[in-house]
Structure 1
Amino acid sequence: MRGFRHFFEDARAVHRIRIHMIKNSMDFHQLPYREMEKLRQFHRDMIKAIPLVIISLPPFANYIVFVLMYLYPRQLLIRHFWSPQQLVEFQGVYHAQRASHHQPLLTGLKTAASQLTDERLKSRLLELCTKVQSGAHPVVSDLHAVRTLFSGPPLGIRRMDPDQMRRLCPLLFLTRRLPAFWIGTRLNGYAIELMLLDRAIIRLGLHQLNDEELKEACYLRGLNVEKLSPAQCRDWLSQWLQFSAHLKQSETSLYLHGMMLLTVNYPKLPRS
């Protein structure tokens, strides 16, 4: 019952936001941060709920559905119906799944670097990969130094190797079992959405986010927040916004790779 109450509260809030957008001819990116995040999360929840609704349609299927929900709450239920303990547990499971793709992503970057003819950019990209593999946390300028490689070949969102593109999907909890052109479109769309949310946080002011909002924002961008303090989350998100604020929409590939490069070793200190 608590889950249904929270769900309907969110549904009413989303309805109000959409009516406000229509009346004022507003686009998504013009909304305040919290309203943007509410719409984004509710949309994801509805997509996840579709399979459960479909299998509930046949007569007497409700009995089976209740059993399945009890046995597989993480896979079938949306977050409104998770307990606080389950939320922490399931986020840990999901992060472990995306973290298992960090090393293949790094390997893909090193492979792309080996094919470069520009020795300066090749050296910088290899240094960045080596720094991360050694356990050091890179600084924002390390990523900005190679940003041109991520807007065209070999690492632009529509120019990279399809295998590397598929390795990015788990960072956003997207399926890899789609044609490459479709995957590229989805990755680009999700990255732009997150970039717009970043800009909304900047407009709001990072200090305005409470501890729960901080952790949720960091987790969404690839960070394992389970053992981090609010101060550490605020420090990391501040770094992330410095990284994101100067990126163009044509550099969404760098944004997505940053979800691995800037999270895998945090909060370890850079090594000399």
Structure 2
Amino acid sequence: MALSRVCWARSAVWGSAVTPGHFFTRRLQLGRSGLAWGAPRYLFPRQLLIRHFWTPKQQTDFLDIYHAFRKQSHPEIISYLEKVIPLISDAGLRWHLTDLCTKIQRGTHPAIHDILALRECFSNHPLGVNQLQALHVKALSRAMLLTSYLPPPLLRHRLKTRTTVIHQLDKALAKLGIGQLTAQEVKSACYLRGLNSTHIGEDRCRTWLGEWLQISCSLKETELSLLLHNVVLLSTNYLGTRR
């Protein structure tokens, strides 16, 4: 039982070692076109080699590139959150979401209670996954390093599936304990959940992962849209990572 929990929880860590899907597709296309495998893999290691074969410097550089790509969608997602504030019927929730967006835009890292206070408005209209506008869904897909070039229903399905898996892994990881993870596993787990951990110390990464797990393990399945948005909400300003 203990071993199965370790394997299940650590799969969240190892899952982040796979490069984004469209790069893998591109690698297959290159192979089918008859190009020799030897030369291109050295010319394009980020696109043609899995992370296991990257040098330490390449790992840092390439993870920075991927994070820069997903970070581009962060302001857009915050903007979409602001646009739906008038659609929230509860005045208290409107105030909380306005306050949260303002804090993030001003560079403040939100507290756990700031995020959990909004769980109700992320469980249904207007911020449940099924109620999100198409452009909002596309931006979230980019933040998760998923392709955004699919019809919105498929994007919603992929986002819900990915978020559900992370939620289940979070529960297993919470039972296992963050202390059971190595430094590299902690950094990989943080990166998978939206934080660019490549330039953050181990202790700070463990603190952030603890915050993430506290939020995740407090949410019901109907509230997982908040966990999906947490990729942006909790990571944008942590220790100056907004730069």
TM-score > 0.5, shorter chain as reference: yes
| 1:33 alignment partner AA | A
Deviation at 1:118, TM superposition (A): 2.2
- CA deviation after TM superposition for structure 1 residue 79, in Å: 1.1
Q: Tell me the amino acid that sits aligned with residue 249 of structure 1.
A: E
Over 3 Å counting, the alpha-carbon distance change for 1:31 and 1:208 in structure 2 is: closer
Q: Which amino acid aligns with 1:56?
A: G
Post-superposition offset of 1:107 = 0.6
Tell whether the 8 Å contact from 1:37 to 1:197 is kept in structure 2 after alignment. Answer: no
2-structure distance, mates of 1:94, 1:42: 12
CA distance in 2, matches of 1:197, 1:207: 16
Question: Is 1:56–2:49 an aligned residue pair?
Answer: no
Which residue of 70, 79, 100 corresponds with 2:51? 79
- 1:84-123 paired onto structure 2 within 5 Å: 84-123=56-95
Change (3 A) 1:107 1:118: same
Q: Per chain length, whose mean CA-contact separation is higher, i.e. which structure has more relative contact order (CA < 8 Å, sep 6+)? A: 2
- 1:25-76 deviations in Å (ceiling 9; x for gaps): xxx98954225654x4577788854542343245xx242x434333322123
The whole-number CA distance in structure 2 between the counterparts of 1:41 and 1:90 is: 13
Q: Which residue of 1 aligns with 2:205?
A: 233
TM-score under structure 1 length normalisation: 0.80
Query: Hey, what does 1:4 align to over in structure 2?
Result: none
Q: Name the residue aligned to 1:185.
A: 157
Percent of paired sites with the same residue: 35
User: Structure 2-normalised TM-score?
Assistant: 0.89
Does the CA contact (< 8 Å) of 1:29 and 1:196 recur in 2? no
Seen in structure 2, the aligned counterparts of structure 1 residues 170 and 248 have a Cα distance that, compared at 3 Å, is same
- Letter matched to residue 137 of structure 1: H
- Distance in 1 (alpha carbons) for counterparts of 2:13 and 2:190: 13
Q: Tell me if structure 2 keeps the 8 A contact 1:131–1:137.
A: yes
Mapped contact 1:69–1:77 kept (Cα < 8 A): yes
With over 3 angstroms needed to count, the CA separation of the structure-2 counterparts of 1:196 and 1:30, relative to structure 1, is farther
Which letter does structure 2 place at the counterpart of 1:52? R
Partner residue, 2:42: 70
Larger Rg, first or second structure (1 or 2): 1
Distance in 1 (alpha carbons) for counterparts of 2:224 and 2:81: 15
In 1, distance between residues paired with 2:13 and 2:184?
13
Out of 198, 206, 221, the residue aligned to residue 249 of structure 1 is 221
2:99 aligned with 1:127: yes
**Equivalent pair of 2:12/2:189 in contact (CA under 8 Å):** no
Q: Deviation of residue 116 (structure 1)?
A: 2.4
The number of residues matched between the two structures is 238
Checking the alignment, whether the CA contact within 8 Å between 2:122 and 2:225 is kept in structure 1 is yes
Task: Tell me if the contact between 1:169 and 1:187 (Cα under 8 Å) persists in the aligned partners.
Answer: yes
Q: Within 5 A, what are the aligned runs for 1:109-188?
A: 109-188=81-160
Please list, as runs of the form range in 1=range in 2, the aligned pairs for 1:8-47 lying within 5 A after superposition.
32-35=8-11, 37-38=13-14, 40=15
Q: Given the superposition, is the C-alpha separation of residues 210 and 192 from structure 1 closer, same or farther in structure 2, using an over 3 Å criterion?
A: same
Q: In 2, Cα distance between the equivalents of 1:47 and 1:95?
A: 16
Query: What is the RMSD computed on CA atoms of the aligned residues?
Result: 2.4
Unaligned runs of 5+ in 2: none
- Paired with 2:20 and 2:148, the residues of 1 have a C-alpha distance of 19
Q: Is the 8 A contact 2:141 2:159 kept in 1?
A: yes
Query: Residues 167-217 of structure 1: CA distance to partner in whole angstroms, max 9, x if unpaired?
Result: 111221101110000000000000111111111111111111111011111
The separation in 2 between residues aligned to 1:69 and 1:254, in whole angstroms, is 39
8 Å contact kept, 1:69–1:76: yes
CA apart distance, 1:225: 1.3
Quote the Cα distance in structure 2 between the aligned partners of 1:96 and 1:87: 14
- Structure 1 distance, partners of 2:160, 2:145, is 14
Distance 1:172 1:35, change over 3 A: closer
